[in-house]
Amino acid sequence: MNPKIAILGGGYAGMAAAVELAAAGAAVTVFEAGKVLGGRARKVVLDGREVDNGQHLVIGAYGELLRLMRLAGVDPVAAYLRQALELVVEPGFRLACPNLPAPLHLAAGLLGARGLGMAARWQLIRAIRSAQTAGWVLATDCTVADWLAQQHQSRNLVARFWQPLTVAALNTPLEKASAQVLLNVLRDSLGGARSASDLLFPKVDFSALFPEAAAGFVLARGGEVRLGAMVKSLRRTESGWAVGEGDERYDAVICALPPHRAGMVLRDLPRLMVLAQQLEHWEYQPIVTVYLQYDPAVRLPRPMTGLADSPAQWVFDRHYSHATPGLIAVVISAEGEHTHWSREVLIAAVERELHLRLQLPAQAQWRGMIAEKRATFACVPGMQRPINKTAEPGLWLAGDYTAGKHYDYPATLEGAVRSGVAAARELMGSELWESIR
Ligand SMILES: Cc1cc2nc3c(=O)[nH]c(=O)nc-3n(C[C@H](O)[C@H](O)[C@H](O)COP(=O)(O)OP(=O)(O)OC[C@H]3O[C@@H](n4cnc5c(N)ncnc54)[C@H](O)[C@@H]3O)c2cc1C
């Protein structure tokens, strides 16, 4: 007997769970409300141009994502432009880790950081060293702003290094962001092997990078992937789980919906009412991506450049990764003043910044913008994140917002994938799995 498993949501978490279960012989059915797979990391078409719903960055530490891509038949060497860490934040800051064995690469990188005076460089080294010595664990979680104050980091150092790094990694303003989760990211990137901090720029869109290949893997093993399949409810019946009003019954369910949607679908299950309420009121942070098409001859000196104290926080030249000359993606993470600006005002401000600070032409030939209001969960201190297992036998949660023994990340692709794998493995380790095989 092949266990019949329903997976709700075809984002990175759902598709990771689907691949893991299909590989173990389960009959998997994925229900995805959208027309494309990938969820918050998916292909979109803007004025006839194929882009992503947001420019994402992957790092070498994303080991589970890379493993599952290989399993689904995607070669990460071909799928990414891979570069050793180089963080350039204008004006003038540059941190690059040379090709030395860990932790020498980090020590050399910090010592050689440009754009900081000697005092700031030592402040930075001391802060990272003290976190490393404490095993990257804080006695009590606090905001990044408070932790930086405790570490006596200067204003200049915060503006050029900590601010762009924290907002990019946690998508939460420094005054609200969890210092512990930031340290978790540093532990596995800067604090890991040299290759863990490599920057991986996908060469294909985010639906093709993993979810579509994962769907192919599932279909080849007799599973199903239903697009445009919005799940409104979930019921437990005597013969198994019922998804919506459908007649099929499933032995188990992995709910890989974003938290507010999961809350709506789970709210009628008596054992999960409190959890469902918590999920329905989950706090999010936005991300805006502005795409600007310039003349194809326009080029930035590297794939990614940060701008300190600017609404245009990180600027990506997609020529390097996607072979689309002149197409620039600008990422504006987290809430801020810009949240209240109109689309036109924000695009104009970004265009002006690129002109004044990166010497790009004053006017782009084409402009597009995607605002994701619920891009990631607000990554605040002391968050109560649910685990995969729920109080309902046969029902597990997966998604970037969950946390478990093997993952404690902010909202990331790696966090989503690890969560999907963890949910699938818990299911496969359960008595239920034994009883249905
Ligand atoms: C603009 C942007 C930039 C980002 N940048 C980065 C980055 O640089 N690096 C990084 O690692 N992470 C980044 N992230 C975060 C990352 O994309 C997410 O953490 C990750 O994709 C979450 O995956 P998930 O599977 O947990 O959730 P989701 O992607 O939200 O997947 C849930 C799926 O469920 C579907 N769904 C919802 N409701 C229903 C329903 N009722 N029935 C059926 N299906 C439903 C959705 O359509 C979706 O496909 C970014 C996110 C955004 C939005």
pLDDT of residue 316 exceeding 80: yes
Residue 348 included in any domain:
yes
pLDDT in tens, 101-125: 777 888 888 888 899 888 999 999 9
Residue 269 Cβ inside 6 Å of ligand 1? The answer reads no
pLDDT of residue 207 exceeding 90: yes
Over range 279-305, report the average pLDDT: 97
Residues 402 and 257 in one domain: yes
Residues in contact with 320: Cβ distance below 8 Å, sequence separation at least 6, in sequence order: 81, 201, 302, 303
Residues 138 and 177 in one domain: yes
Name the residue with higher pLDDT: 331 or 193. 331
pTM listed for this prediction:
0.96
Q: How many domains does the chain have?
A: 3
pLDDT in tens, 211-240: 999 999 999 999 999 999 999 999 999 999
pLDDT in tens, 124-149: 999 999 999 999 999 999 999 999 99
Residues 169 and 182 in one domain: yes
Residues 365 and 389 in one domain: no
Q: What's the gap in Å between 41 CA and the centre of ligand 1?
A: 6
Residue 130 included in any domain:
yes
Residues 252 and 361 in one domain: no
Estimate the crossing angle of helix 273-280 against helix 259-266, to 10 degrees. Answer: 150
Q: What is the pLDDT of residue 377?
A: 97
Confidence of residue 437 (pLDDT cuts 50, 70, 90): confident
pLDDT of residue 249 exceeding 90: yes
Average model confidence (pLDDT) across the chain: 95
Q: What is the pLDDT of residue 105?
A: 84
Over range 398-412, report the average pLDDT: 91
- DSSP annotation of 277 reads H
Mean pLDDT check: name the lowest of 96-105, 112-121, 291-300: 96-105
Give backbone dihedrals phi and psi of 75, rounded to 5 degrees, phi first. Answer: -85, 110
| Cα 153 to Cα 150: distance, rounded to the nearest angstrom | 8
Domain carrying residue 146: 96-193
H helix intervals, 323-408: 343-358
Residues 209 and 328 in one domain: no
Best of 46, 51, 209, 257 for a ligand 1 pocket test (most atoms within 8 Å of beta carbon): 257
Residues 208 and 331 in one domain: no
Over range 59-83, report the average pLDDT: 96
For the chain, percent of residues with pLDDT exceeding 90: 88
Mean pLDDT check: name the lowest of 205-209, 211-215, 242-246, 420-424: 242-246
| Cα 246 to Cα 231: distance, rounded to the nearest angstrom | 10
Give the end of a domain, one of 193, 216, 237: 193
Residue 211 Cβ inside 6 Å of ligand 1? The answer reads no
Over range 390-398, report the average pLDDT: 97
Confidence of residue 190 (pLDDT cuts 50, 70, 90): confident
Residues 234 and 175 in one domain: no
Atom of ligand 1 nearest to the CA of 289: 1
Over range 82-106, report the average pLDDT: 88
Q: What is the pLDDT of residue 191?
A: 87
Q: What is the pLDDT of residue 108?
A: 85
Residues 231 and 344 in one domain: no
Atom of ligand 1 nearest to the CA of 16: 25
Residue 256 Cβ inside 6 Å of ligand 1? The answer reads yes
Residues 30 and 171 in one domain: no
Residue 85 included in any domain:
no
Mean pLDDT check: name the lowest of 47-56, 67-76, 107-116, 358-367: 107-116
Atom of ligand 1 nearest to the CA of 414: 11
Residue 63 included in any domain:
no
Burial grade of 1 (CB within 10 A; 0-12, 13-18, 19 or more): exposed
Over range 183-198, report the average pLDDT: 90
Residue 8 Cβ inside 6 Å of ligand 1? The answer reads yes
Q: What is the pLDDT of residue 324?
A: 95
Q: What's the gap in Å between 11 CA and the centre of ligand 1?
A: 6
Residue 77 included in any domain:
no
Residue 255 Cβ inside 6 Å of ligand 1? The answer reads no
* Element containing residue 320 per DSSP (H, E): helix 318-322
The CATH number of the domain holding residue 105 is: 1.10.3110
pLDDT in tens, 352-386: 999 999 999 999 999 999 999 999 999 999 999 99
Q: What's the gap in Å between 334 CA and the centre of ligand 1?
A: 16
Residues 276 and 288 in one domain: no
Name the residue with higher pLDDT: 408 or 317. 317
Q: What's the gap in Å between 258 CA and the centre of ligand 1?
A: 7
For the chain, percent of residues with pLDDT exceeding 70: 100
Residues in contact with 401: Cβ distance below 8 Å, sequence separation at least 6, in sequence order: 258, 259, 282, 377, 385, 386, 411
Ligand 1 atom 7: residue of nearest CA: 56
Q: What's the gap in Å between 344 CA and the centre of ligand 1?
A: 26
Name the residue with higher pLDDT: 2 or 107. 2
Residue 14 Cβ inside 6 Å of ligand 1? The answer reads yes
pLDDT of residue 323 exceeding 90: yes
Q: What's the gap in Å between 13 CA and the centre of ligand 1?
A: 8
Best of 8, 15, 40 for a ligand 1 pocket test (most atoms within 8 Å of beta carbon): 40
The CATH number of the domain holding residue 410 is: 3.50.50.60
Give the end of a domain, one of 158, 193, 228: 193
Residue 78 included in any domain:
no
